[in-house]
Structure 1
Amino acid sequence: MEMLGLNVVPLAVNSAVELCVFDTIAKSGEGAMLSTKQIASQIRSNNPEAPHMLDHLLRLLASHSLLRCSVSQQDHSHRLYSLSPRSKYFVTDADDGNSLGPTLALLLDNVFYQSWKEVKGAIMEGGIPFNRVYGMHAFEYPGKDQRFNEVFNKAMVNSTTLFFSHSICSLKLYSI
């Protein structure tokens, strides 16, 4: 049964990234604990149900250690959310503006998602799923679709920068 819902967590993380939830909590300072009402007000939602809806989303993320959740000590009536160690990968870096959010957006983009629907056809009849859907290689496609080009390039820049930043930090630690 668990396997049937495996796509839910990445989609929930992507929603939180798009809503700037991780950045909102991070900007509130080290160790900040925010209610969904506080988060909803900072993301400027006009929906009166936003805090309640956010709570469902953030509880899911907390259940996968992507956020921390605690109950308010003052009135015990609402939950407070804070960043977890795993959250840092989805907070936009203050120095270079990078996070894994754009990479996740690329992987969940409908352009890539449609390719998965052609895996069976590729196995049965041959070919590459992406090529079967779009008639070209995945690296050619961004030249034909400006929106996807931006998604693709942003993901590549962010993931490459993060990879090399972590590699350089590791090398510095190793050489000390």
Structure 2
Amino acid sequence: MSLDETLAVTTAQEDEEYLFAFKQNMISCVPLVLKATIELGILKILFESSAQLSPTQIASRLSIKNPDAGGTIDRILRLLASFSFLSCTLTQDKAGRPERMYGLGPLSKYYVSEEGASMDAVIQGEGDPFKLANDATLFDYTGTDPRYNNHFNNAMKCMSTIFMGKIMDTYHGFENAKTVVDWQFHSFTDEFVIQLLKKCWNALPASGKVVIIDPVSPEYPGSDLVTRATFTSDMVMLALPPGGKDRTLREVEVVARAAGFSSPKVGCQVLNMWALELYKTA
């Protein structure tokens, strides 16, 4: 299965029902993200601009100290574009990488505010909204609050049961595996993931492989259920684990190659989850 063949969203009725339910569970992300863009003054900047702007251009007009602000703004705005609050055009930057340009959409004109405010987690460069709110990172906090820890783990268990059940019906990449080591991928920074994959590369036999099962963010923010579910999931990754994100296929390929692996091979796509295989290169 080629990467291009997987880009078309083809979901069965049951899958669409699940994705709709997932979106409804996460729908609170949308008004909160919209509120953040209003308070930051991003909508006002887009309103005053005669052309669409890149996330980096928006960050420069906000005088933000956080060096990762462009990437954070991009993730926020692509969610709003997926829900038709903003317009988006997919272009390329000077290095030939995909770059999204944003402008106001039909809905956003009703939310333009004459007065901007501030959002500490973005402007001050703290970069970890959960820690700002709770004085601890997500995983440290779960170790101190038994009730939260129980809810968190039950939620992960329920979602994993649904996803893995459907994936195992389609994907046969674990057959004949003698050893399986489970680790998280989208909860960490690129630098951490590269180091993790390097350790995997060193530990794997010649016939071994890494299987990544995660949401994969599309390059263009479409309005289909899969895209909306993926971008709302990415907002959770932005808010909770420091450095977490749902990567695009290109971003997965970058960290895979940096660790010595070949380009990802697509095993299957189920709901908004993908099974990607990484093999050792000579």
Q: Does 1 or 2 have the higher relative contact order (CA < 8 Å, sep 6+)?
A: 2
